[in-house]
Amino acid sequence: MFDLDQFIADCEAAVAADGGQRGVREAMARVVSDRASLIARLGEPKRAGIELLHRSKTVTILNLVWGPHMTVMPHNHHMWAVIGIYGGREDNIFWRTLPSDAKWPIEAARASSLMPGDSCPLGKDIIHSVTNPLGKLTGALHVYGGDFLKQEREEWHEESLECAPYDSAKARRLFEESNARL
């Protein structure tokens, strides 16, 4: 059975031991490999949203549920992360910044599709956009190497790709709009 307290302790211990990302990815891989146990503890996702499971100065853990066909514009975290999928699918486009004289400020560099049981590390400088390509909810655990809720971040406009401060109210609206369509 998935033990949230043990997962939190494992993540905190990994950060204390070596900065964390490798140990957190190993813990995440164990957790998402047993989807039934994870669902038994967290519940089957019913709505799009973000549930805070743990927050400290060194580790933030979120249960994130993407709505059907939901897309989040390019954004960064300014800290490493590990994503583990326990239901649905999450497609990521990873972006790179371009010189100031380029036509666009960022460009797509690669993509990755995550399925149930997959885990993926993200470096602290990664810019990515996320899409749930399915007509059903996608559940994912996200672990961040710091206090994610206090971290200032940036996002890039979906059409112009211009950079701006991250707008958390706008992000909440995306989840609310997704739930309204359910």
- Complete DSSP assignment for 106-152: EEEEEEEEE-TT-EEEE-TT-EEEEE--SSS-EEEEEEESS-GGG--
Q: Measured between alpha carbons, how far is residue 51 from residues 22, 45, 60, 65 in Å?
A: 24, 11, 11, 8
> In order of start, what are the domains of the chain with their CATH numbers?
4-177 (2.60.120.10)
Q: Phi, psi at residue 112, to the nearest 5°?
A: -150, 140
Q: Does residue 54 contact residue 146 with C-beta atoms inside 8 Å?
A: no
**Residue carrying structure tokens 């799009």:** 48
Whose CA is closest to 53, among 139, 143, 114, 137? Answer: 143
The Cα 69–Cα 61 span in angstroms is 24
What pLDDT is stored for residue 19 in this prediction?
80
Instruction: Strand 49-55: give its sheet, edge to edge.
Output: 49-55, 60-66, 138-144, 81-87, 119-122
Q: Does residue 36 contact residue 49 with C-beta atoms inside 8 Å?
A: no
Q: Span 114-143, mean pLDDT?
A: 97
What pLDDT is stored for residue 9 in this prediction?
97
Query: What does the mean pLDDT of the chain come to?
Result: 96
Report residue 18's pLDDT band, with 50, 70 and 90 as the boundaries.
confident
What pTM did the predictor assign? Answer: 0.95
Q: pLDDT per residue over 43-98, tens digit each?
A: 999 999 999 999 999 999 999 999 999 999 999 999 999 999 999 999 999 999 99
Q: Span 104-118, mean pLDDT?
A: 97
Q: Span 1-21, mean pLDDT?
A: 93
pLDDT above 90 for 20: no
pLDDT above 90 for 10: yes
Report residue 107's pLDDT band, with 50, 70 and 90 as the boundaries.
very high
pLDDT above 90 for 173: yes
Residue 99 neighbours by CB under 8 Å, 6+ apart: none
Residue 159 neighbours by CB under 8 Å, 6+ apart: none
